[in-house]
């Protein structure tokens, strides 16, 4: 085993000890994210929790407590952004109250860094807050670090109307990170960004399994031998849910199979297609489940058909539980999965390719086993919390050292 692998296999706490050496000063960090079910919120929350464990003071700022943030935790504070509903405004605004909350939190706690996840409106609000602090409060402002998660960038690919504000917000940030090389390249291509973009991959710390696969399967009324295909997402159009259903309909014609959808969005627009394909009784829909890990762990593989994915957080989560993932060769996904080594990749829309991939996994236990263990190794060692938290800390020190 290489030395690198040996280091990676140290317990998490020990690895986090290593990053203590990276920054000795305890930092005060604002973390701004979307609090709802979604990869960016999960990553931001995990990062904040890990940094708090290292002794840094973490101030989460959002309109609602991030769903995976424990209610009480040492070094973690939550500041709720009040949303005004004045009659005068036709649409409630979020950017301005967010900027005001950031200003207030900084005035009280003197943050070193405001780490925002998503350029709009979070980086925009942070830059406004920084300007107010500099001009009117006469106190040292924070550095703004913006992490790009993808949707801002892909959104602008289709809708140019927000381009000037996204360009400005990314370009004026003190530091920019992206969750994959693909996203960093796309950002540079679409926007007028000359500043360097640091690639720091997403990471996932597997949760303790609290319900055995047998228990979950019993709860879902599944036979022992039913092949369960999982999919976890917000079901946005980018996820190409019709492809998911078409693939499953071909699979279930040949095999005893079920499609387990862990959804953070509305499935009803897809119901007519599910009925047309006569698979509605074979779909198990679980809405906004808190213990996603128990369900991913009870399934046999994961299926992701997106036409774009900057990273694919659910893919990483599924791999962490040793379940082979079949996904599209889209965006940053090939940086997470190496085809036929630790997962299976197909072109967007390749329904037949995906179907034969699932066939192979069902019929070839050795292939299933190899992909399962290689995927788990990649998730645990390459995308480990220790490694990525250290990268963020190193990046923070670099940005803080700049004038
Ligand atoms: O994919 C979504 O609809 C949710 C979105 C989010 O805000 O969580 O996901 C984006 O950020 C994740 C975390 O970095 C990435 O893993 C997802 O790939 C990315 N989604 C897209 O690029 C479509």
pLDDT by residue (tens digit) across 104-139? 999 999 999 999 999 989 999 999 999 999 998 889
Q: Give the pairing of strands 227-233 and 257-263.
A: parallel
Per-residue pLDDT in tens (0 to 9) along the chain, 403 residues: 333 344 344 444 444 444 444 566 899 999 999 998 688 999 999 999 999 999 999 999 999 999 888 888 999 999 999 987 777 778 888 999 999 999 999 999 999 999 999 998 999 999 999 999 999 888 999 999 999 998 777 777 667 888 889 999 999 999 999 999 999 999 998 887 889 999 999 999 999 999 999 999 999 999 889 999 999 999 999 999 999 999 999 999 999 999 999 999 999 999 999 999 999 999 999 999 989 999 999 999 999 999 999 999 999 999 999 999 999 999 999 999 999 999 999 999 999 999 999 999 999 999 999 999 999 999 999 999 999 999 999 999 999 999 7
Phi, psi of 17 (to 5 degrees): -55, -40
What is the CA(39)–ligand 1 centre distance, in A? 5
- Pick from 385, 402, 387: nearest CA to 144: 402
Q: Tell me what pLDDT residue 17 has.
A: 43
Q: Which ligand 1 atom sits nearest the alpha carbon of residue 150?
A: 22
- Pick from 107, 106, 128, 137: nearest CA to 172: 128
Q: Which ligand 1 atom sits nearest the alpha carbon of residue 154?
A: 22
To test the pocket of ligand 1, the residue of 66, 68, 122, 150 to mutate (highest count of ligand atoms within 8 Å of its CB) is: 150
Give 23-42 pLDDT, tens digit per residue.
668 999 999 999 986 889 99
236 lines ligand 1 (CB under 6 A): yes
Q: Tell me what pLDDT residue 14 has.
A: 42
Please check whether residue 227 is in contact with residue 360, taking contact to mean a CB–CB distance below 8 angstroms: no
What is the CA(254)–ligand 1 centre distance, in A? 33
Q: Tell me what pLDDT residue 23 has.
A: 61
293 lines ligand 1 (CB under 6 A): no
Q: Which ligand 1 atom sits nearest the alpha carbon of residue 202?
A: 14
314 lines ligand 1 (CB under 6 A): no
150 lines ligand 1 (CB under 6 A): yes
To test the pocket of ligand 1, the residue of 313, 315, 334, 335 to mutate (highest count of ligand atoms within 8 Å of its CB) is: 313
Q: What angle do CA 337, 13, 313 make, to 5 degrees?
A: 25
Cα-based distances in Å from 60 to 20, 174, 362? 21, 19, 44
179 lines ligand 1 (CB under 6 A): yes
Q: Partners of 62 in the beta sheet?
A: 80
106 lines ligand 1 (CB under 6 A): no
Q: How far apart are CA 222 and CA 43, in angstroms?
A: 32
Q: Give the pairing of strands 143-148 and 175-178.
A: parallel
Domains in the chain with CATH codes: 12-203+384-400 (3.40.50.2000), 213-381 (3.40.50.2000)
DSSP 8-73: HTS-HHHHHHHHHTT--SPPEEEEE---SSSHHHHHHHHHHHHHHHTT-EEEEEESS--TTS-SS-
Q: Tell me what pLDDT residue 158 has.
A: 65
Q: Tell me what pLDDT residue 301 has.
A: 98
317 lines ligand 1 (CB under 6 A): no
Q: Tell me what pLDDT residue 37 has.
A: 67
H/E stretch holding 127: helix 124-132
40 lines ligand 1 (CB under 6 A): yes
Q: How far apart are CA 279 and CA 330, in angstroms?
A: 27
Q: How far apart are CA 52 and CA 70, in angstroms?
A: 12
- Pick from 367, 312, 366, 359: nearest CA to 336: 312
312 lines ligand 1 (CB under 6 A): yes
46 lines ligand 1 (CB under 6 A): no
What is the CA(316)–ligand 1 centre distance, in A? 12
Q: Which ligand 1 atom sits nearest the alpha carbon of residue 183?
A: 22
Q: Tell me what pLDDT residue 34 has.
A: 92
């Amino acid at each position: 085993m290489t030395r690198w692998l040996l280091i990676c296999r140290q317990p998490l706490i020990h690895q986090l000890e290593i990053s203590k050496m990276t920054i000795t000063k305890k930092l005060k960090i604002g973390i701004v994210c979307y609090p709802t079910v979604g990869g960016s919120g999960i990553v931001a929350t995990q990062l904040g929790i890990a940094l708090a464990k290292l002794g840094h003071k973490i101030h989460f700022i959002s309109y609602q407590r991030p769903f995976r943030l424990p209610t009480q935790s040492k070094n973690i504070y939550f500041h709720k952004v009040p949303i005004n509903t004045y009659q005068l405004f036709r649409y409630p605004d979020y950017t301005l109250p967010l900027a005001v909350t950031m200003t207030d939190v900084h005035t009280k706690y003197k943050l070193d860094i405001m780490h925002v996840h998503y350029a709009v409106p979070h980086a925009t609000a942070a830059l406004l807050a920084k300007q107010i602090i500099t001009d009117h409060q006469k106190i040292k402002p924070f550095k703004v670090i913006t992490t790009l998660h993808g949707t801002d960038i892909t959104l602008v690919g289709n809708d140019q109307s927000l381009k000037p504000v996204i360009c400005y917000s990314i370009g004026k940030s003190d530091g920019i990170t992206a969750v994959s090389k693909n996203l960093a390249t796309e950002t540079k291509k679409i926007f007028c960004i000359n500043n360097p973009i640091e690639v720091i991959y997403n990471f996932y710390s597997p949760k303790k399994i609290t319900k055995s696969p047998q228990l979950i399967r019993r709860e879902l009324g599944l036979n022992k031998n039913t092949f369960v295909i999982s999919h976890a997402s917000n079901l946005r159009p980018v996820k190409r849910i019709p492809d998911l259903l078409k693939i499953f309909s071909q699979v279930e014609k040949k095999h005893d199979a079920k499609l387990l959808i862990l959804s953070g969005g509305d499935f009803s627009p897809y119901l007519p297609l599910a009925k047309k394909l006569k698979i509605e009784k074979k779909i198990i829909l679980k809405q906004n489940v808190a213990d996603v890990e128990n369900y991913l762990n009870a399934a046999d593989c994961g299926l992701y058909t997106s036409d774009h994915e900057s990273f694919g957080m659910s893919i990483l989560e599924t791999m962490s539980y040793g379940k082979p993932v079949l996904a599209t060769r889209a965006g940053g996904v090939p940086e997470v999965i190496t085809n036929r080594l630790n997962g299976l990749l197909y072109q967007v829309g390749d329904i037949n390719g995906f179907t034969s991939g699932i066939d192979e996994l069902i019929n070839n236990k050795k292939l299933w086993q190899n992909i399962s263990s290689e995927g788990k190794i990649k998730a645990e060692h390459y995308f480990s919390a220790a490694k990525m938290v250290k990268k963020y800390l190193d990046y923070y020190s670099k940005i803080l050292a700049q004038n």
